[in-house]
A and B are shown apart, each in its own frame.
Chain A
Amino acid sequence: GQQVMQIPQYQHVQEGEDFTTYCNSSTTLSNIQWYKQRPGGHPVFLIQLVKSGEVKKQKRLTFQFGEAKKNSSLHITATQTTDVGTYFCAGPVIGGNEKLTFGTGTRLTIIP
C-alpha cells in the first residue's frame, strides 16, 4: 500500500532559525497537501500543491512539490514560537479514489 514518510521525525530549533521538513511518497500523487496540528489540537489545512515542480509561499512558509510528484518539502524561515506543532503532508494516489494518506509527521519545537 501507499506509504508517506517524513523526515525528520522531530526537530528542535532556536527561535529565529529556519526549519525544513521533507515528505516522500512510495507512489505518485495527484496532489500534495500540508497540515499543521498544534499540541492537543486537530489538523488544520495549510496548502495544496497540484502541479509538478510547483512552489507556493505563505509569508514565511515555502512549499514545494517535486517534479516526479512523489516528494514535497515545507520550509519555514525565521521560526517563531507560534510555529510549534506537528506538520503533516498528505496526498491521494494518482488515479486512485482520492483517499488521503497522511505522512508520519514532523514535530517542531522552538527554543525561545
Chain B
Amino acid sequence: NAGVMQNPRHLVRRRGQEARLRCSPMKGHSHVYWYRQLPEEGLKFMVYLQKENIIDESGMPKERFSAEFPKEGPSILRIQQVVRGDSAAYFCASSPYLAGNTGELFFGEGSRLTVL
C-alpha cells in the first residue's frame, strides 16, 4: 500500500514565481489536510479538503495561496508570486474520515520550498 505521496520533495523558486505542490492521498482516503512548518516550529493548519470541496481554509492566507482536490488526480497547493517568507516545509496528510471521526492522519514526507 502506497502511503501519502508528495512531490516535489524539494522545490527552489525565485521571488515572484509560482510554486505548485502536489499530494496524492492514500488509497481510499477522501480527506486531505495541508500544514505548513517553519524550521524549529510547529505544524500550522492551512486547509482541509474533501474531493471537489474545501471544508475549512481558515488557516490559508487569502492572497496568493489556493488549494484544490479535484475528483480525479492529486490535491494541489498553489502559491503564486512567492516571497521569502513562504520558505517552509509543506506537509500533506490524508484520512479516511469514517463515521464522522477524522481518525489518524497519515502524513507525506513533505515538500520543502526554498524561495531565493
Contact = CB atoms under 8 A, between A and B. Distances in A.
Contacts of A90: 43, 105
Interface string A40-52: 0111110010000
Given A97-B48, A98-B97, A88 B106 contact: no
Contacts of B42: 88, 102-105
B43 A88 contact: yes
B48 A45 contact: no
B107 A42 contact: yes
A40 to B, nearest CB: 10
A31 B45 contact: no
Interface residues of B, number: 24
A26 to B, nearest CB: 14
Interface in A60-112: 88, 90, 92, 97-105
Chain A interface helix/strand/loop/mixed:
loop
Given A42-B107, A48-B103, A97-B56, A102 B45 contact: yes
A33 B45 contact: no
A42 B108 contact: yes
B101 interface: yes
Given A1-B58, A88-B42, A42 B101 contact: no
B100 interface: yes
Contacts of A30: 101
B76 to A, nearest CB: 19
Interface of B: 33, 35, 42-45, 48, 55-56, 58, 91, 93, 97, 100-110
Interface of A: 1, 30-31, 33, 35, 41-45, 48, 88, 90, 92, 97-105
